[in-house]
């Protein structure tokens, strides 16, 4: 896919770490100019208090072969998002790909906590970060994206529409947030399709993000050591896998066939033929249904 997106301009909103960072880097590998946003900047981290910064992401994009541009942005502040889009318009005159990956809820949700038990302020903050930010970003960015035909909007979430439809996801607030983003992609597909653009919802599988690796006390080099405590982690994937999914979509001239749909990294790997960094093709959501949810012994054979 090298140079497949040369001349294209992308905005990855929420690109400091995890899937957002990897998506930005993979877009850079394909030759795109990528604006990357987040709240963590050198000397001023977000409430996560983690070392990753948006400037580091931009540098990784450039090192991968694209052009990375870091813009520190709080997507809950409309004026900041409006200024971001005006800058992209002034510097590039176009926007071809918008990835709404803003999340920020890891420290806010409570597992299996009923709505009346869950901290209300945290729950409402989660909804603002996970839903309101996406709406604000789309409001300001989509007029620029629609200026040229063929634009792509990717709404990042957790779980496919099919999977989430019949399953309770973590807690009331988490469930609502992830389901809302799926519906956003459907609604945007309705609004963008007739105007020559495509919107999809996209989910990775069990992500080996920086935070997840730290949580399990492993690195990408020895991640399988975590299987002793969490056997189903065997189906996990690197963030680059879903990044390659975004590149495949952006490079597909027939991407409109997916408009309004719910997609997964594993599904698109089968469709487009890309792999994760180790050459495998994890299919996490099929594994969840057929192995993990029925409480069968962990075994990724045939699923990656």
CA atoms within 13 A on the CB side of 260: 9
* pLDDT tens string 174-207: 999 999 999 999 999 999 999 999 999 999 999 9
Check pLDDT > 90 for residue 245: yes
Question: Looking at residue 44, what is its pLDDT?
Answer: 84
Q: Could you tell me the pLDDT band of residue 89, with boundaries at 50, 70 and 90?
A: very high
User: What Rg do the C-alpha atoms of the chain give, in angstroms?
Assistant: 18
Check pLDDT > 90 for residue 222: yes
Residue 84 · residue 92 · CB < 8 Å: no
Distance CA 243, CA 106 (A): 20
Q: Which helix (H) or strand (E) holds 263?
A: strand 262-264
Q: Are strands 67-72 and 97-100 parallel, antiparallel or unpaired?
A: unpaired
Residue 64 · residue 287 · CB < 8 Å: no
Distance CA 239, CA 210 (A): 9
User: Which are the contacts of 183, defined by CB distance < 8 A and separation ≥ 6?
Assistant: none
Distance CA 144, CA 132 (A): 20
Check pLDDT > 90 for residue 105: no
Q: Which two tokens stand for residue 23?
A: 């998506």
């Amino acid at each position: 896919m090298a140079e497949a997106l040369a001349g294209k301009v992308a905005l990855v909103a929420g690109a400091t770490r995890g899937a957002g960072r990897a998506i930005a880097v993979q877009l850079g590998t394909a030759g795109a100019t990528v604006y990357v946003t987040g709240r963590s900047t050198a000397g001023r981290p977000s409430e996560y208090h983690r070392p990753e910064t948006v400037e580091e992401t931009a540098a990784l994009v450039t090192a991968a072969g694209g052009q990375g541009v870091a813009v520190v942005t709080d997507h809950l502040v409309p004026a900041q998002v409006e200024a971001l889009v005006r800058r992209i318009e002034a510097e590039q005159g176009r926007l071809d790909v918008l990835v709404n990956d803003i999340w920020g809820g890891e420290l806010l949700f409570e597992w299996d906590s009923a709505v009346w038990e869950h901290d209300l302020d945290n729950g409402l903050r989660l909804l603002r970060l996970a839903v309101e930010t996406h709406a604000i970003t789309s409001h300001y960015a989509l007029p620029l994206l629609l200026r040229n035909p063929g634009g792509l909007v990717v709404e990042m979430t957790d779980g496919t529409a099919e999977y989430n439809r019949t399953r309770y996801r973590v807690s009331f607030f988490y469930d609502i947030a992830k389901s809302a983003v799926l519906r956003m992609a459907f609604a945007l597909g309705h609004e963008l399709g007739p105007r020559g653009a495509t919107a999809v919802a996209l989910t990775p599988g069990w992500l080996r993000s920086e935070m997840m690796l730290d949580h399990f006390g492993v690195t990408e080099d020895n991640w399988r050591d975590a299987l002793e405590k969490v056997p189903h982690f065997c189906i996990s994937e690197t963030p680059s896998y879903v990044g390659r999914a975004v590149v495949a979509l952006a490079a597909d001239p027939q991407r409109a066939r997916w408009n309004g749909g719910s997609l997964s990294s594993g599904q698109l790997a089968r469709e487009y033929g890309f792999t994760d960094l180790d050459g495998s093709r994890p299919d996490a959501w099929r594994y969840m249904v057929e192995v993990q949810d029925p409480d069968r012994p962990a075994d990724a054979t045939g699923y990656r």
